[in-house]
Amino acid sequence: MSYQNLILTEEGPFITVTINREKALNALNQQTMSDLAQFFGEDLPHRENVRGVILHGAGDRAFVAGADIKEFTSLTDDDGANMARRGQAVFFLIERSKVPVVAVIQGFALGGGCELAMACHMRIAGEKARFGQPEVNLGIIPGYGGTQRLIQYIGKSKATELMMTGDMLNAEEAYRLGLVNHVVPQGEEMAKAKELLEKIATKGPKAIGKVIESINAYYQYDQDGFAKEVDCFGEVTLSEDFKEGAQAFIEKRPANFTGK
């Protein structure tokens, strides 16, 4: 598949997806959203041997500095709602991916960029990274899931403050509040993400997918997370990976998981 605003780099069982709009600070325009939908919705699900995805922005100034505001100026009420609906659908594809997705954040992750990072399963931040939902400065609100996911990560009180003031968090504050998993020196972000994915890749792929599915169920209003966990547990206990993992444990050797 071909993409206009994404660059895919394959390295063993991992794919690095680069949002390639450096001059625009990787702002999310509709073409970029279409590319992300195509990759996570159509391309990735058919790549059976992929064990992890790294998502980052071109250059070191921004992961994604926000949505492309030029596309907002002529929106009608219906257009705005449809844009938000579509954006949420694209980010759900990332959040619900059975393959772990790690966001590597260098520089700004603001507005839609912060929302995109939060849709990923984990986040690695460089020490100069900055996070925020400053939409109120434009007289609008987050529309790609930010009002929901920011609360999930850092709690209602602080999330409310950030979304009402438009203030930014630095990397250390984001780590302290639980928004990012690790903060590393500038230039070491990709290495840390690869280290994390390499460790995860030694585990059962089917189990990793079911962990993601079960965790997501906790936040879905129409799902019982405990019931989802039971279903997922039942499925993995019937898998070949479980048989291999149990046998490897008994034989005191590394497991050779196949994802089946």
Q: What local confidence, expressed as pLDDT, does residue 221 receive?
A: 79
Residues whose CB is less than 8 angstroms from the CB of residue 112 and which lie 6 or more positions away in sequence, other chains included: 27, 28, 64, 66, 67, 87, 144
Q: What local confidence, expressed as pLDDT, does residue 246 receive?
A: 86
pTM for the model stands at: 0.94
**Torsion over CA: 214, 44, 260, 198 (sign):** negative
Asked if 44 and 6 count as a contact pair (C-beta separation under 8 A), the reply is no
Spatial strand order of the sheet with 14-19 comes to 6-11, 14-19, 52-57, 101-105, 122-126, 182-184
Q: What local confidence, expressed as pLDDT, does residue 79 receive?
A: 87
Q: What local confidence, expressed as pLDDT, does residue 143 receive?
A: 95
Q: What's the CA gap between 68 and 220, in Å, rounded? A: 29
Burial class (CB in 10 A: 0-12, 13-18, 19+), 101: buried
Is 188 in the active site?
A: no
Give the H or E element holding residue 126. strand 122-126
Asked if 172 and 183 count as a contact pair (C-beta separation under 8 A), the reply is yes
Active-site annotation holder among 10, 48, 95, 135: 135
What is the number of other CB atoms lying within 10 angstroms of the CB of residue 155? 12
Helices (H) and strands (E) in the chain, counts: 10, 10
Inter-axis angle of helices 77-95 and 112-119, to 10 degrees? 30
Q: What local confidence, expressed as pLDDT, does residue 166 receive?
A: 97
Active-site annotation holder among 71, 115, 188, 229: 115
Strands 6-11 and 14-19: antiparallel
Is 135 in the active site?
A: yes
Q: What local confidence, expressed as pLDDT, does residue 144 receive?
A: 97
Burial class (CB in 10 A: 0-12, 13-18, 19+), 151: middle
| CATH node for 6-200 | 3.90.226.10
How is the chain split into domains, by residue range? Answer: 6-200, 205-251
All residue ranges of the chain with pLDDT < 70 are 77
Q: What local confidence, expressed as pLDDT, does residue 28 receive?
A: 96
